Amino acid sequence: MYRNRIIPCLLLKDERLVKTIKFKDPNYIGDPLNAVRIFNDKEADELFFIDISASKRGSINFDLLKKISSQSFMPLCYAGGIKCLNDAKKIFSIGFEKISLNTIVLKKPDLVTEISKIYGSQSVLVTIDVKKNFFGKYYVYNHLKKKITKYDPVDFARKMEVLGAGELVVNCIDNDGVMKGYNLKLINEISKAVKIPIVGLGGAGSLKDLEDVVKAGASAAGAGSLFIYYGPHKAVLINYPSED
């Protein structure tokens, strides 16, 4: 029986796992390899690693990705600092099944097509970071420049599908780490506008939130804090829901 995927999304910064709130104040939460081993034991559907320092650093930590891949029994996706076809080639050769492009597609949208033609659209995701402006309208956000772009997220999603993306991650910055639910309205609008799968990300705080985002049109529920923190005081305890 088909079940929608539940995906832990883990942030990397200088070989350490961190968690942010609204893309700010990264808080150290542990060792990425230890997290992989725990999620192996808990039989997570897949893992999504996002290196939030790679673009600023100007390089991808391939050595760390090799270690992660060697420890993982789950499908892996990586995002962060991917600038060209060769970067994607190295990541796939290490053992990651998927990559996700983000800021680079604002400057080089054809990279989506270039990689998907060689490795298949199922291997190429595009993460759309979305932020609300002063007037309450949502736009695609450039996290490298820390500024809102001119792009409407629904139109941008359609464009990425045409270019060859096989999946879209819709990440609402205003909901990141808050644990009060996803931006269901936006996810629903994008899911209706495209035919490819959508991963909802940003805001999950309960199992009901995971259910709600699937009902809103997402094919998968992505979450960070929900699988890292436990209890009202947010103690670091890696967890994952049982099949039940």
| 52 SS3 class | coil
The interaxial angle of helices 62-71 and 85-94, nearest 10 deg, is 30
Catalytic residue status for 129: yes
- Residue 209 is classified by DSSP as H
CA 145-149-150 angle, 5° bins: 160
Six-digit token string for 26 = 């990264």
User: Residues 31, 45, 51, 129: which is the catalytic one?
Assistant: 129
**Closest Cα to residue 31, out of 66, 68, 76, 78?**
68
**What sections of 60-150 are H helices per DSSP?**
62-71, 85-94, 104-107, 110-119
| 117 SS3 class | helix
Catalytic site positions: 129
